[in-house]
Amino acid sequence: MHSNISIFVPHVGCPHKCAFCDQNAITGKQKLPHKDDVEKACMQALSQVDDISDTEIAFFGGSFTAIPRDYMLELLTAAKKFVGGGRFKGIRISTRPDYINAEILDILKSYGVTAIELGAQSMSDEVLEANERGHSAEDVRQASRLIREYGFELGLQMMVGLYKSGHQQEDETFNEIMAIRPDTVRIYPVVILKNTRLAKLLASGEYKPMSFEEVLSLSTRALGAFTAAGIRVIKCGLHASEIVEQDMVGGFYHPAFRELCEGELYRLRMESELDKAVKEGRSPENKKLVFAVKKGCISKAVGQKRANLRGFEELGFKVKIIEKEDIGLYEAKLLSDEEAAHDYAVRNIKQLKRSKSCGCFYCGRIFAPAEISDMINEGCGTAVCPYCGVDSVIGDASGYPVTKDFMHKMHERWF
Ligand code: SF4
Ligand SMILES: [Zn+2]
């Protein structure tokens, strides 16, 4: 599994004053890492990480290519010794788009850097200017092109809900990042820290941030669309440890922001599956909905505090979510009754004991559960039809109709 050894490099002497950044407040409080620290971190990881060939050394935190050149080379020299030859996969750095050029990329290449992440933040010049980023959207386009030409992995970071960013500017950013198609994206809803310009603008009423719901919905759209396009979203929302909680005066922070977005994606997908089924006249019998999702994604689909299930329950539906192999991330498939009922034909001894009647969807016979004498699947019992010997028996305790008509439909679907 992919992992990173993260080394935080504060942006020493950064000449910029981005409206959301509190680097002036933290300068002096952060210890600068030196070559010994890099070596120590790498040595430690060598002895602790199982699959180092899929591990990268990540310099994050500031604008790596904008720090003093000697210092940058000191860090790269220390890291390079640990790259390749059966050791770490490569080096990741993050930087500003206006500190990328051919000379810098030549250096990075020669030191074993493999991935470059750019703080794009917005692709609207108006928003970049209002937040005093000191670079343009064109800088992001050009730097991305150059990084690609050099064969580096490209990552873009975007912020949602910046000062002067409305839906039109958010669309611009989303569409442009989609068009650039980076390998990875980080989505950061704005967190307003004290002692920043944003904090002042917020206090004076000049900055009226969007609602949390709007930012959640914009981030959800980005997470879903980037993932569907094959762009890896490596971050969505800040981790608790990344913000000094007492320094936060506003903005959009939730300790499980990504999970909220994922729950939303599943809710939207499940609702659209149901709408489609209703339009096509396939609404399930007895208001029981069975959705299949990717393996390991049931809790995401259920939503935080069962929010998605409760939403359906309020509409009178009972929802069951199961895992299936061939379903993509954030996709959900509403199973037809015939598909959903099939699950009740395996390991069904208990269900049949609770049933008054049962049927076989191979031969179509309806009979009493007491007539069953043969079972397969030792221990957890799958009933075999006493008339045809096929393991295609379901009982009425499954909630599905044990009728000739339904057995016929199941036969059509499965045989
Ligand atoms: S976010 Fe802006 S002000 Fe802060 S360190 Fe980076 S470039 Fe400098
Ligand atoms: Zn049968």
DSSP letter for each residue of 244-311:
-GGGEEEE---TTHHHHHHHHHHHHHHHHHHHHHHHTT-PPGGGEEEEEEETT-HHHHH-GGGHHHHH
- What CATH code would you report for 263-335? 3.30.300
**In a mutational test of the pocket of ligand 1, which residue from 63, 99, 100 has the highest number of ligand atoms less than 8 Å from its CB?**
63
Q: Which residues contact 331 (CB under 8 A, 6 or more apart)?
A: 269, 293, 294
- Measured in angstroms, how far is the CA atom of residue 18 from the centroid of ligand 1? 6
Q: Which ligand is nearest to the CA of 384?
A: 2
Which protein residue's CA is at the shortest distance from atom 4 of ligand 1?
21
So what's the pLDDT on residue 411? 97
For 146, the token pair is 């150059």
So what's the pLDDT on residue 242? 60
So what's the pLDDT on residue 11? 76
What is the layout of strands, in order, in the sheet containing 184-189?
3-8, 55-60, 90-95, 113-121, 153-160, 184-189, 232-236
pTM: 0.88
Tokens 């608790």 sit on residue: 240
- Measured in angstroms, how far is the CA atom of residue 320 from the centroid of ligand 2? 27
Q: Counting atoms of ligand 1 from 1, which one is nearest the CA of 96?
A: 7
- Measured in angstroms, how far is the CA atom of residue 349 from the centroid of ligand 2? 16
Q: How far is CA 364 from the centre of its chain?
A: 45
Considering only CA atoms, give the Rg of the chain.
28
- Measured in angstroms, how far is the CA atom of residue 288 from the centroid of ligand 2? 26
So what's the pLDDT on residue 241? 63
Tokens 């092109």 sit on residue: 145
Q: Which ligand is nearest to the CA of 12?
A: 1
**In a mutational test of the pocket of ligand 1, which residue from 8, 9, 11, 131 has the highest number of ligand atoms less than 8 Å from its CB?**
11
* DSSP sequence for 103-120: HHHHHHHHTTEEEEEEEE
So what's the pLDDT on residue 17? 87
Ligand 1 pocket residues where CB is under 6 Å: 11, 14, 16-18, 21, 23, 62-63, 96
Q: Could you state, in order of their start, the residue ranges of all structural domains in the chain?
A: 3-255, 263-335, 344-414
For 278, the token pair is 């209703």
- Measured in angstroms, how far is the CA atom of residue 282 from the centroid of ligand 2? 27
Q: Counting atoms of ligand 1 from 1, which one is nearest the CA of 10?
A: 5
Three-state DSSP at 219 gives helix
So what's the pLDDT on residue 134? 96
- What CATH code would you report for 3-255? 3.20.20.70
Taking the chain (415 residues) in runs of 10, the rounded mean pLDDT of each run is 83 83 64 92 85 86 89 96 88 96 97 96 98 97 98 98 97 98 97 93 97 97 97 91 74 92 97 93 81 96 95 92 93 93 92 96 96 84 94 94 95 95
Q: Which ligand is nearest to the CA of 388?
A: 2
Q: Is-contact 116 95, C-beta < 8 A?
A: yes
- Measured in angstroms, how far is the CA atom of residue 14 from the centroid of ligand 1? 6
- Measured in angstroms, how far is the CA atom of residue 286 from the centroid of ligand 2? 25
Q: Which ligand is nearest to the CA of 345?
A: 2
Rounded Cα–Cα distance for residues 45 and 62 (Å): 22
- Measured in angstroms, how far is the CA atom of residue 9 from the centroid of ligand 1? 12
So what's the pLDDT on residue 244? 60
**In a mutational test of the pocket of ligand 1, which residue from 18, 162, 242 has the highest number of ligand atoms less than 8 Å from its CB?**
18
Q: Counting atoms of ligand 1 from 1, which one is nearest the CA of 66?
A: 7
Q: Counting atoms of ligand 1 from 1, which one is nearest the CA of 63?
A: 6
So what's the architecture of 344-414 in CATH?
Answer: 2-Layer Sandwich (3.30)
